[in-house]
Each structure stands twice: as C-alpha cells, then as structure tokens.
Structure 1
Amino acid sequence: MSVSKNYLYNVLLIISNTVFPIITFPYVSRVLMPEYLGKVYFVQGVIGYFLILSVLGAPNYGIKELSKAKGIGDWEEFKKIFTELFLMTVLSSVVSLGILLFTVSIYGRFYQEKMIFYIFGLQVLFECFHINHFFIVMENHKRRLIRSFVIRILSLGFLFYFIKKPSDYYLYALLLVIPEVIARIIDVITVRKYFNFNFKELRFKRHMNSMMVIFLYLFTIGIYGSIDTTMLGIMVDDTEVGLYSAAVKMYRMVLPVILTLGTVLSPRIIGAIKRKEKSNIYKNLDVFIDYCFIVGVPATVLMVILAPEFTLLFSGKSFEGAISTMMIMSPCLGFLALGSFIGGQVLLPNDLEKDILIISIAGVFINIGLNYFLIPIYLRNGAALATLLTEVVIALIKVYKMKKVYKDYSILNRDRNITILVGIGVSVFIFWIIQHIRVFGNLITLLTMPILYGIIYFLILILLKNKRVGEWFEFAKKKVRLH
C-alpha cells in the first residue's frame, strides 16, 4: 500500500481520535469541573506506569522485529515472534495488575481513589492485547480506522447519556476504559483471520535483553510523561491536576497530527536501516522532518496565540487558569514529535537501545528535579515549564546522537530555517489582527485564524520555493485535474 494511502488512513484515524475529545471534553469539563476531572486524570497518570509494565515494550520491539521478518519474507518466523511477544505480555499484564492492586491497598493517597484505580485496572489487565504493532507492520491502517471510529461513536452516546453530575466521575473513568478494552479484544480476534498462533519451539529468551532495555526506556518516558500530574496531585491538589490536565489534553489533540507520518514511515525506515540503504534512510528522514517543521511551527504558534479561545471554548470559564499553562506547553509539540521520531524510528532500529535508555533516565531526573523546585512556586505552570525544558533537552540530545550515526545528515537546512522564520513572521501579523477578530467571539476566532494563518504561511513558502511544499502543491494540482 502506498505511503499516501497509509498516511490518509492515519490522518482519518487521528481525526477520529481527535474529534472525540473535542466533542466530549467541553461537556465533561463543565459537568465534572476541575476537582473531579483532576481525580480521574491523577489516577490515569499513575495507571500509565502500569500499562507500560503490562506490555514490556512489546509494541515498539515488535515493529522492529516483525518488520525484519516481513522484509525477508519469513512468515513462519513472523508468526513465531508474534506469538512469543503475545504470551510474554499476557504474563506481564497479570503481574502488573497484581502490583497495582497491592500498591493501592498500602498507599493512602491511592487508596482514597481506590474505585477509580480498580476501574483502570481493567485496562491494565487487557493491555496484553495491545497489538497495534502487528497492524502497523502489515500496513493495515484502514482496519485500525474502522475499529476506532465504531468504538468512538458508541462511547460518545454512552457519555452523553450517563454523565450528568460531578459525582458521575466514576462512570467517566469507566467510559475511558471500556472502549480501550473492547478495541484490544477486537484486535486479537482480527489477528486470527491472518494466521493461527505458532506455539512450536518458542524461544522467549532471545527477546528478553532488547525488550527489557526498551521497557526501561518506555518506563522512563512514562515517568516524565505523567510525573507532572502525579507530583501535582501529591504536592498540591486535584484542582491543580484538573487545570493542568486540561492544558495537556488540548495541546495533545494536535500532537498526533505531527506524529502520524512517522508511524506510516516506520516500517520503511526500519527496513532501509537494516538493509543499510542510506539514500532511502535519508529520503524518509527528509519526508518526516520537513513535515515536522512545516506543520509543527504553525501548530505551535497557533496554540500559543489561540490558547484563550481553546481553553474557554473547550473547557469553560472555570478552567481559565489553564490558559497560561497551555501557552507554556505548546512549544513542546515540535520538540516532542522530533524526539519521539528520532528515538523510535532512527536510534532504536540502529540497535542503540542502551543510548536511548540513558537519555530517558537523564530526562526523568531532569523532569523530577525541575518539578520538585518549580511546582511549589508556580503550581501547574511550574509543571508545564518543567515539561517544556525536559522535552527540549531530550530532543537536542537525540539529534546529537543521530548525527553521530549519520554524520552527513543535516537537521537544519535552508528550507527548514526559512520555515521557522516565516512561521514566526506570520504569527506577528496574526497576533496584531486577532485583536480585531476576538470581538466576534471564541468560535469565530478559532475558525478564521488558522485558515488565515495557513493561507498566508503556505503562500509565502510557495513563493520562496520551499521544495516540500512545492511537491505537495503539485500533487494537489494533479489530483484536482484527475477529478
């Protein structure tokens, strides 16, 4: 299947996953308010650690190993690897759930919210069915789209029917978990249509070293990805967690739009790396990094400028305190996307698991240290600043490590430098004109400003002969002519 079709399916999948919170979050935030929303998101942040333990890095490791088997056409080895990883994660999910239940029973802060922890425990148990890596390697993104869309529609109906008052936050937690569990079960059933599990001559030991390194890497990422909400909940209160989580949720709605192309390109880049086809590696790197700059710069700028409109429209006046938090966090978009891509699609396939792990451990210590000092002073904004600084440092270190592997590859070039300058330049104009548009209300501002920004931004890039934008423009013109 072509990159363009895979990308289209992934974009539609992202739209499905993004539209759902866009529709639901304004309703949920107004019903539950910051305090009760904070309770759910505090527990969800803690549960993230146990979800990582449940899968032991199998999704990331699986993409790498299954792509290698598929690349050489060894389907018996493909089935065997998949079966081994699946059985390993079944065991780890049961162990993870046991540790979770024990932790909740002995730690007072967790025990206070034990019912929510028990609800999310269902997701921990069924996380062993997290086999997206199979469908990514098989490039079956259409099926992923259909499954996600159907489940989202069903959960949307249940949400508006059952969530009516703040005390319904238990039901909200349940509605966050059930769609994920159903999706996991459907995934496993669907795999059986491709092949039967191969239980002969299984060799689990061969995966242990690499999986443990990847697991530790993902676990450390999980720590500095959710330690902010955990520390806020412990050091301050649920209201601060609610305000902070609202800001995080809004900026993360945009993040998948940048990351999706990396997911589509992943099997191709890994295959090129294993075959040592440097020209293909650089070609695919250019596609993603160009896209990261071209889309990431305006996304970041618009999130900062439109933070008041985003917050008030999607969360309500009771979440006004999240506006400044969202402004601080928005620049994470580009750095997080670039760092995630380099780590997962460049360093990992080059067998640099230990280097990635060391970088991640450094990120954990940086993030915990910054949170410890900044949260008592700036509360949720302190956590946001700690996250931003950590993502910048980690992304720069990963770029440095990539340069050591591919010395003649350059992250910054003429087009990318111009993209940054154009993005900032257009933002100055938008910041001036938005003062005149805001009198028409939040919705009109949110609808008109991105369109106006996009027209000016891409027109300037075309006039300045940005190679990648020019290719997209020519591709669009051909499609229009065909129709």
Structure 2
Amino acid sequence: MKEKSLSGNIVLNAIKTFMSIGFPLISFPYISRILQVENIGKVNFVISIINYYSLVATLGLTSYAIREGSIVRNDIKKRSHLFDELFSLNVITTIVAYILLGISLVWIPSFQEYRSLLLIYSLTMLFNAIGVGWACSVFEDYLFITVRSIIFQFLALVMMFLFIHKQEDYYKYTWIMVFQVAGTGVSNLLHVSKVHRFKFTTKIDLKKHIKPVLTLFATEIATTIYVSSDTTVIGFLAGDYYNGLYAVSTKIYRVAKQMLAAILQVAIPRLSNYYNNGNMKDFEDVIQEVGEMLILVLMPIVVGIFYCAKPIIILLSGIEYTEAYVSLQILSISLVFAIIAWFLSQCVIVPKKMESLMLKTTAFSASVNLVLNILLIPYGKQNAAAFTTMISEAINAGIYLKYAYLHLRITELKKQIVQCGIACVLMIVFMSIIRYSLGDTTLFLMISILGCSVIYILTLLIERNSLLFKYLHAIENRIKVNRE
C-alpha cells in the first residue's frame, strides 16, 4: 500500500476534529438551554453507565486492531484473516455486553429510573461493533473519515434544531446521538467492504490475541473508571443538578482533547508500522514532529481556556451554568497532563507492545481517582471531580515519561516549550488588559480569541520557530507545484 502523507493526514484529521468541535459549539448552547441542567445531567449519567458496558463490547480491540492491522496491511492474506478474526471477536464481546446490561437492568434498582434511556443509548454498542472504524485507521483513509464525520454531524445538528424544542425532549436528543453513531458505523462498513468483505468466523486464534487484547481491555477499564467514575459518583452522591454543571465543563474539556488528539491519531498506525518493522530513525522522527506540534497547539489552548473559562461557560450554556467555570479551569490544567500521557502511551508505549505497563499505570491512577471521587465529591461536587481527574492524568503522564524518555529529543522539545511559553505570556498580558476594560463578557472572549491568535503566531514568527517555518515552507512549495 502506498504510504500517505503524514502532514496531509494530520490536516484532514484536523479538519474533521475542527468540525467535530464546531457542530457541538453550535448545538450545545441550544441543547443545554432547552433541556436544562437536570435533564442534561440525566443524559450524561446514562452515557457514563453505557461506557462501562461498551468496554466489554470493544474489549480493547480498537487499539489492538489498529496496531496489528498496520503491521500486516500490505499482506492481503494475513490482513484478511486478521480482520475477520477481530470482527468476529468483537461481535461475540458485544453480545456478552448486552447480556450483562440486561442482567443489570433487572437487578440494579438505581437503573430503573433510567431504563429507557439506557436501552436507547446502548444501541451505540451495536453500531460501533459493526462499524469497524479501526479498519479505516489501518488504511489511513482520513479523507473518507473526514467527509463521513462532517456529513453525519451536520445531519445530527439539523435534527436537533428540528425535533428538540422543550425540556422533555432529552429522549429525542439521545436518539439523535444514536443516529449519528449508527450512520457512521454503517457507512464505515460499506466503505471498508470495497477492500475487504467481513465474514464471521469461529476460527479465532485466541492464544495469539487474548493476552494483548485482555491487557488493553483491562487498561481501558481503568481508563474509563477515571474518565467516567466522576460523572457516575456525582450522579449517585450529588445528583443530576451537579452532573449537569459538570457535563458543561467536561464537554469543553473533551472537545479540546479531541482537537489535540487529531494530531496523535494519524501518527499511531505509522508509528506501529515503523517500530515493528525496525525503522527506528523514522519512528523517532515522527515522535519528535508530533511532540513539537502538540506543544505548539496545546499551550495556547490551555492558557485560553483557563483565562476565559467563565465567558466560555456563559456563551456556550447560559448564565445558569456559571458555577461550572472553576471545574473547567481545573480541567484545563488536567489537559496538559492528559495530552502528555496520551502522546506517550499511544505513540511510544502501544507501538512497543508494552501493554502491561499501561495496565499497571492506568489501574493505579484509576484506583486513586475512584477513592478520591468517593471521598471528595460529597463536599466539592463538580470541582472535586475535576481535581481528581487532574491528579489521575498527572500520575499517568509522570510514569509514561519515565519509560518513553529515551525516544524523546528533550533539548529540542525544551526549546519549543520556551518559545511557545513566551508567546503565551504575551497572550496573558493582552487578555488581562482587555478583561480590565470589558470584564468577563462575550465581547472580551471574541477579542481575546482573535487578538491572542495574532499575538501567538507573530511571536513564533519573530522567534523563527522551526516547526512553524517548516509548515509554511511546505505550503509555499505546494502552491508553487500547483501553479506549475
């Protein structure tokens, strides 16, 4: 298979992610105002519960399939056999997940109030299973992924404005989210079937797959505990109101995380292929480029969210959600540790097949997170939940850094941090002046976004930031080629 441009893939995935951010920024202010805090809290609680059953349904197969599929993607016979094995295993685990959900709905009293919502949203497990999204990543088919994502997000957005008009419409809101997942899954299956027609098989080499799959599964369980346990614990110990507040801050946090993940996701198949085929120089070159790019994008986002947390909350969800701004500020700091941990784990640890390290690390941080959630949430509500998330992400980042250190060119990364740090300081000075004049208003937020963007880019140009100049030269060369 012809190797596709990494920078091109990054641009495509960035477009997809930008649209993934843009559509919620349009819909969520409308949805949060119509459904109100408690109903948003109910939906958020249901999503957190289904996330646990989705773990059983996926069983760690996504990361494993991308890694193993990337290694054999140029060998049609091996690739076809692997795809059918993993697809069949995913079907079986999804059936098991539905059985466990059915038992839970009968025996867990707390689920009775949410039974209908749980059943509706559980359909996402089915469509994720048949959607084989991991196959698109194996083939690095980011043009299709981008177009498909935009189409179904747009359709979901239109449906929200057409069908959601009163507080009781949170059921319709849940159905629309299911529709988006269903459309994505079916289109994935149809698209990949042009290259490989999936067949169910009972001839699964469990001896080969079961250990790494279960290790990644256990890691995802631990990850979900510290990603979703805060919402779950708030639901049980504090109530739907505080879950509604936390839903707003986590929505913004996850949107920022998704945007930064766009840089990482396109590199994972390439890194797995390089490392497992012995191309260590290419492996470390890609790690370095991705690391520098993350610093370039991460630092201004974190500074901007922290400094503008209150007007962001008010703009996106309304004045009644203002209490959520402190938890958003805490989560903005958590974003630094989360992206560092994600970068090191997905770009270094996973390609090196160090699943056991990921499991031990994530299990430890998840345990700390769960204990702190139970102890602190009754007192600190949504702010305590954000704090425990930050602690967990910091633990992950610290441990992964210890094991990935040898693959990083620290001197070059430090230079990038210093240059971006100076630009961020100038951003803070600018925002402080504007806030003094305008206060925490929407106008302050708009001026800050535009002004800080200009200040940040100009500062990097003055500093002659190597990565920025590299991409500017690449764009210039592409324009010249097109003219010729």
Q: Above 0.5 in TM-score?
A: yes
The equivalent of 2:32 in structure 1 is: 29
Write the distance in 1 (CA, Å) between the matches of 2:325 and 2:368: 25
Matches of residues 304-323 of structure 1 in structure 2 within 5 Å? 304-323=306-325
What is the CA-CA distance between 1:329 and the residue it aligns to?
0.7
The equivalent of 1:417 in structure 2 is: 417
* 1:94 and 2:91 matched: no
Matches of residues 36-435 of structure 1 in structure 2 within 5 Å? 36-70=39-73, 73-197=74-198, 202-205=203-206, 206-403=208-405, 406=406, 409-410=409-410, 413-419=413-419, 421-435=421-435
Contact 2:35 2:170 in 1 (8 A): yes
What is the CA-CA distance between 1:320 and the residue it aligns to?
0.8
Secondary structure of 2:474's counterpart equals helix
What is the CA-CA distance between 1:189 and the residue it aligns to?
2.1
Contact 2:249 2:328 in 1 (8 A): yes
Residue 118 to residue 159, structure 1, CA distance change in 2 (3 Å): same
Q: RMSD of the TM alignment (CA)? A: 2.0
The equivalent of 1:461 in structure 2 is: 460
In structure 1, stretches of 5+ residues that fail to align are: none
Write the distance in 1 (CA, Å) between the matches of 2:444 and 2:408: 44
Letter matched to residue 459 of structure 1: L
Residue 398 to residue 412, structure 1, CA distance change in 2 (3 Å): farther
Contact 1:360 1:394 in 2 (8 A): yes
The equivalent of 2:18 in structure 1 is: 15
Write the distance in 2 (CA, Å) between the matches of 1:408 and 1:24: 40
What is the CA-CA distance between 1:477 and the residue it aligns to?
4.1
Contact 2:341 2:397 in 1 (8 A): yes
Secondary structure of 1:113's counterpart equals helix
Letter matched to residue 32 of structure 1: L
The equivalent of 1:438 in structure 2 is: 438
Residue 243 to residue 69, structure 1, CA distance change in 2 (3 Å): same
Worse-matched range after superposition: 422-431 or 20-29: 422-431
Deviations along 1:305-338, one digit per CA (max 9) or x if unpaired, are: 1111211111001111111111111122232122
Letter matched to residue 46 of structure 1: I
Contact 2:327 2:383 in 1 (8 A): yes
Write the distance in 1 (CA, Å) between the matches of 2:172 and 2:201: 43
Deviations along 1:132-191, one digit per CA (max 9) or x if unpaired, are: 211111111111122222212222222112111111111111111121022112211222
Secondary structure of 2:266's counterpart equals helix
What is the CA-CA distance between 1:478 and the residue it aligns to?
4.0
Contact 1:339 1:398 in 2 (8 A): yes
Secondary structure of 1:330's counterpart equals helix
What is the CA-CA distance between 1:430 and the residue it aligns to?
2.6
What is the CA-CA distance between 1:30 and the residue it aligns to?
0.3
Write the distance in 2 (CA, Å) between the matches of 1:251 and 1:351: 29
Worse-matched range after superposition: 414-423 or 366-375: 414-423
What percent identity do the matched residue pairs reach? 24
Contact 1:301 1:423 in 2 (8 A): no
Worse-matched range after superposition: 204-213 or 296-305: 204-213
What is the CA-CA distance between 1:64 and the residue it aligns to?
0.8
Write the distance in 2 (CA, Å) between the matches of 1:198 and 1:99: 25
Secondary structure of 1:314's counterpart equals helix
Write the distance in 2 (CA, Å) between the matches of 1:350 and 1:110: 41
Write the distance in 2 (CA, Å) between the matches of 1:49 and 1:341: 24
- The number of residue pairs the alignment matches comes to 478
Residue 448 to residue 472, structure 1, CA distance change in 2 (3 Å): farther
Residue 43 to residue 201, structure 1, CA distance change in 2 (3 Å): closer
Write the distance in 1 (CA, Å) between the matches of 2:31 and 2:415: 42
Worse-matched range after superposition: 178-187 or 208-217: 178-187
Secondary structure of 2:197's counterpart equals coil
What is the CA-CA distance between 1:422 and the residue it aligns to?
1.4
Write the distance in 2 (CA, Å) between the matches of 1:420 and 1:143: 33
Secondary structure of 1:194's counterpart equals coil
What is the CA-CA distance between 1:467 and the residue it aligns to?
1.8
Write the distance in 2 (CA, Å) between the matches of 1:433 and 1:258: 28
Contact 1:80 1:202 in 2 (8 A): no
Query: Normalising by the residue count of structure 2, what TM-score does the alignment of the two structures yield?
Result: 0.94
Worse-matched range after superposition: 316-325 or 466-475: 466-475
Deviations along 1:412-465, one digit per CA (max 9) or x if unpaired, are: 7442331353144124313322215636940x3333212211222222223223
Letter matched to residue 310 of structure 1: I
Write the distance in 2 (CA, Å) between the matches of 1:200 and 1:233: 41
Residue 251 to residue 199, structure 1, CA distance change in 2 (3 Å): closer
Secondary structure of 1:196's counterpart equals coil
Write the distance in 1 (CA, Å) between the matches of 2:277 and 2:254: 34
Deviations along 1:19-62, one digit per CA (max 9) or x if unpaired, are: 12111100000011111100000110111111121111111101
What is the CA-CA distance between 1:201 and the residue it aligns to?
8.8
Contact 1:58 1:211 in 2 (8 A): yes
Write the distance in 2 (CA, Å) between the matches of 1:423 and 1:373: 39
